[in-house]
C-alpha cells in the first residue's frame, strides 16, 4: 500500500472494495466536526459527491479505546465492502486518519474539482497508526521573501496532507517585518518594505531593482491561525530578538545602538547574511517588545493545542560588535553585574522568558539562547569540567562550556547541529531537533550544475529519509525532552512559492515519514520501498499543483543559470 508517511500497521484483505458514489453518506459523531467539514470540502470537491448526513457509508467517531492504545493523535481505519469506519483517539487523530483515507482514494482525490469518468474505490483494509513525535514541524521564513496569505494557507494544506502539525512562522528579520502591530504602525509602514533585493547568495552581483515586501494584517493572522487549527496544526510565531532586527530599527531608530551608529540612516536591509545592527539593551527596548508580544499573544491564543503556548524569540546570530563598542551598553553590562556581551544576551532572553511565563506562555529559541551562563552552571548542566572537557574526555564545541541560564519551561530549537539539543535535554529543557546539516531544506538537493542557486551541503531525498532526530548520546530519560523535529525553509534564494515548492518537495515527504513513522535505525531503513511509494505520491503532488524537484533533476524553468550560490562540498559534519 503506497501511503506516506508509512502507517504502523496495515492489513489488506484483497477484493472486493468499497465504492464511493453520489449516495454515499457521512455519519459524524461527537468531536468529529472539523474532520467532517474537511472531508466534505475536499473529498466532496474532488469527487463531486455531497457526502450527505445519513446512515451507513463513512462513519466518523472518537473513542477512548483508541486514545488508550494509540494516543490522541492515533487512529484506526477499517474499510469493509459496505462501510468505512474511521475512529480517532482524539479529533486530531481522526483528521490524520482522514488524510490516509484521501491517499487511498488515489491522486485525483487531491484535486479541487471532479474529473470525468473517475471511479472512487477504497481497498478493503484495516490500518492502525499513530505518530512517533508530537512536534512534527516546518519553519517558513516569510521575511527574506514575503509569501502572500493565500500561499501560507496553501502551505498549511500541504503540511496537513503530510501529517505535519507545527507551523513555525518566521515573521521578522533584518530584511522585513511581516506582522501588523497596531501600537507601532511604522513596523509595517517602514519595516515591511525594502528598496531592492539581492538575487542569489550575498556574494552575487545581481540585484532585483524593485521594492519587495508585504505584511499580514491582524485579521490575516487570525485567519491563518484559524485555518491551521481546522487542520490540527499549531502556529508558533517567531519575533527575532535581539539580533536580526534591522527592519525594526529602521522603523524605530531608538531601538538601536545610536551611540555607535546613526540609526536614523538605517533602512530595511537589502542584503543577506547577519546584520551588525542589533537591538540596544535598554529599558525602552524591553518595553517596546513587551508591547509587541502583548498584541502577539492575542493573535496566537494558547488553547487546547499541544504547543500553542510556545512563542519563538529567535535569539540566534546576534552580532556583538556594536555592544562592545557602545559606552551605553558597557555601562549596562556593569550595572547588571554581567560578565560580558554573551551574558547580556542571556539576560535579554531571560527577561522575555520570565515575561512570557508570567502570562502562561513558554519561550522557545534557537540554540544560541543556551549561551551566556556561568561556566559552573554549564558544567553542572552538561557534565563538563572547568577546561571544557566532559567526563568521557570529549570536548564541547570550541572547547567552551555552554552555560545554561534559561527560565524553567523554556525550550530550544537545535539548529547548529545536535549539540545544542543534547546540552538542553541534559539540563532538563525540551528540544526540537532541526540541525542545519540535516534538515535545512534550503540546502541543495544534488551536486549537479543545474541545481538552482546551490546553497550548503547536498541533502538528497535519501539523506533526509535517513535523518534521525534523537541523538544516541542521550539517555532514555534525556531523550524524553526531544519534543520532535522540524524542517526549516529559509527563503533568501526562494523568491516565490514555486521555489519554496522545489526546495521543500519531495524531501518534505521523506521528513514527514521520519517525524511520523516508527522507522528502524537510519542504516536499516528501506529507502527502496520509500522510493516505490513516492512513485504514487508524485501523482498526489501533481494533483496538488506542487512544483517539486523531479527525480531526474530540475526542469528547464526551475534552473537559475548564472545566479551565484554558496555550495559546500563534502558530507556535512555530524555535530
Q: Which residues are catalytic?
A: 173, 244, 317
Give 116: exposed, middle or buried? Use CB within 10 Å, 0-12, 13-18, 19+: exposed
- In DSSP notation, 511-565 reads HHHHHHS----GGG--HHHHHHHHHHHHHHHHHHT--PPPTT---GGG--TT---
The helix/strand count (H/E) of the chain reads as: 19, 22
438 within 8 A of 464, measured Cβ to Cβ: yes
At 214, give phi and psi (nearest 5°).
140, 165
Compute the distance between CA of residue 565 and CA of residue 362 in angstroms, rounded to an integer: 37
Compute the distance between CA of residue 561 and CA of residue 512 in angstroms, rounded to an integer: 31
- 277 in helix, strand or coil? coil
- 55 in helix, strand or coil? coil
475 within 8 A of 536, measured Cβ to Cβ: no
Which of 416, 413, 324, 421 has the alpha carbon at shortest distance from 381? Answer: 421
Query: Which residue matches cell numbers 469506519?
Result: 85
Which of 320, 311, 326, 314 has the alpha carbon at shortest distance from 342? Answer: 320
Which of 508, 494, 486 has the alpha carbon at shortest distance from 455? Answer: 494
**With left for phi above 0 and alpha for psi between -120 and 50, is residue 9 left, alpha or beta?**
beta
Compute the distance between CA of residue 224 and CA of residue 213 in angstroms, rounded to an integer: 19
Joined together, the cell numbers standing for residue 401 give: 562550556
Asked whether the CA dihedral 558, 562, 566, 572 is positive or negative, the reply is positive
**3-state class percentages of the chain: helix first, strand second, coil last, to nearest 5:** 35, 20, 45
Amino acid at each position: 500500500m503506497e501511503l506516506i508517511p508509512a502507517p504502523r500497521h496495515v492489513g489488506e484483505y484483497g477484493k472486493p472494495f468499497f465504492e464511493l458514489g453520489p449516495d454515499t453518506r457521512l455519519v459524524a459523531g461527537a468531536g468529529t466536526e472539523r474532520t467532517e467539514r474537511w472531508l466534505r470540502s475536499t473529498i466532496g470537491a474532488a469527487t463531486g459527491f455531497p457526502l450527505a448526513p445519513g446512515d451507513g457509508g463513512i462513519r466518523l467517531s472518537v473513542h477512548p479505546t483508541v486514545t488508550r492504545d494509540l494516543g490522541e493523535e492515533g487512529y484506526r481505519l477499517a474499510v469493509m465492502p459496505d462501510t468505512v469506519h474511521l475512529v480517532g483517539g482524539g479529533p486530531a487523530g481522526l483528521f490524520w486518519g482522514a488524510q490516509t483515507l484521501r491517499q487511498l482514494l488515489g491522486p485525483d482525490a487531491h484535486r479541487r474539482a471532479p474529473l470525468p469518468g473517475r471511479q472512487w474505490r477504497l481497498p478493503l483494509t484495516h490500518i492502525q497508526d499513530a505518530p512517533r513525535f508530537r512536534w512534527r514541524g516546518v519553519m517558513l521564513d516569510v521575511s527574506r521573501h514575503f509569501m502572500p496569505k493565500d500561499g501560507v494557507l496553501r502551505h498549511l494544506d500541504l503540511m496537513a496532507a503530510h501529517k505535519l502539525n507545527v507551523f513555525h512562522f518566521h515573521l521578522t528579520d533584518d530584511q522585513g517585518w511581516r506582522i501588523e502591530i497596531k501600537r507601532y504602525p511604522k513596523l509595517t509602514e517602514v519595516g515591511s518594505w525594502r528598496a531592492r533585493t539581492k538575487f542569489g547568495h550575498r556574494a552575487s552581483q545581481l540585484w532585483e531593482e524593485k521594492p519587495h515586501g508585504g505584511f499580514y494584517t491582524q485579521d490575516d493572522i487570525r485567519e491563518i491561525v484559524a485555518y491551521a487549527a481546522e487542520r490540527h496544526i499549531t502556529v508558533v510565531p517567531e519575533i527575532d530578538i535581539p539580533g536580526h532586527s534591522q527592519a525594526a530599527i529602521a522603523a524605530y531608530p531608538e531601538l538601536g545602538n545610536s551611540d555607535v551608529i546613526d540609526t536614523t540612516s538605517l533602512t530595511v536591509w537589502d542584503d543577506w547574511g547577519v546584520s551588525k545592527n542589533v537591538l540596544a539593551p535598554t529599558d525602552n527596548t524591553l518595553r517596546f517588545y513587551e508591547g509587541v508580544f502583548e498584541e502577539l499573544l492575542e493573535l496566537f491564543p494558547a488553547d487546547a493545542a499541544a504547543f500553542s503556548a510556545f512563542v519563538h524569540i529567535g535569539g540566534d546570530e546576534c552580532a556583538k560588535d556594536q555592544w562592545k563598542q557602545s559606552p551605553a551598553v558597557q555601562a549596562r553590562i556593569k550595572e547588571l553585574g554581567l560578565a560580558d556581551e554573551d551574558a547580556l544576551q542571556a539576560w535579554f532572553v531571560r527577561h522575555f522568558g520570565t515575561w512570557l511565563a508570567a502570562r502562561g506562555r513558554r519561550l522557545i529559541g534557537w540554540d544560541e539562547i543556551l549561551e551566556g551562563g556561568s561556566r559552573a552552571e554549564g558544567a553542572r548542566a552538561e557534565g563538563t569540567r572547568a577546561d571544557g572537557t566532559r567526563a568521557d574526555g570529549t570536548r564541547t564545541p570550541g572547547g567552551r562550556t555552554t552555560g545554561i541560564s534559561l527560565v524553567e519551561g523554556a525550550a530550544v530549537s537545535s539548529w547548529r547541529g545536535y549539540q545544542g539539543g543534547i546540552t538542553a535535554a541534559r539540563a532538563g529543557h525540551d528540544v526540537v531537533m532541526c540541525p542545519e546539516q540535516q534538515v535545512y531544506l534550503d540546502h541543495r538537493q544534488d551536486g549537479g550544475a543545474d541545481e538552482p542557486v546551490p546553497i550548503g551541503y547536498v541533502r538528497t531525498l535519501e539523506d533526509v529519509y535517513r535523518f534521525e532526530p534523537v541523538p544516541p548520546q542521550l539517555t532514555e530519560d534525556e531523550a524524553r525532552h526531544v519534543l520532535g523535529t522540524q524542517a526549516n525553509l529559509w527563503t533568501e534564494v526562494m523568491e516565490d512559492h514555486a521555489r519554496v515548492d522545489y526546495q521543500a518537495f519531495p524531501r518534505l515527504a521523506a521528513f514527514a515519514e521520519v517525524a511520523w513513522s516508527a522507522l528502524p535505525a537510519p542504516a536499516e531503513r528501506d529507502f527502496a520501498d520509500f522510493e516505490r511509494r513516492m512513485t504514487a505520491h508524485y501523482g498526489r503532488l501533481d494533483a496538488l499543483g506542487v512544483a517539486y524537484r523531479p527525480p531526474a533533476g530540475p526542469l528547464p524553468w526551475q534552473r537559475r543559470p548564472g545566479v551565484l550560490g554558496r555550495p559546500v562540498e563534502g558530507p556535512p559534519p555530524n555535530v
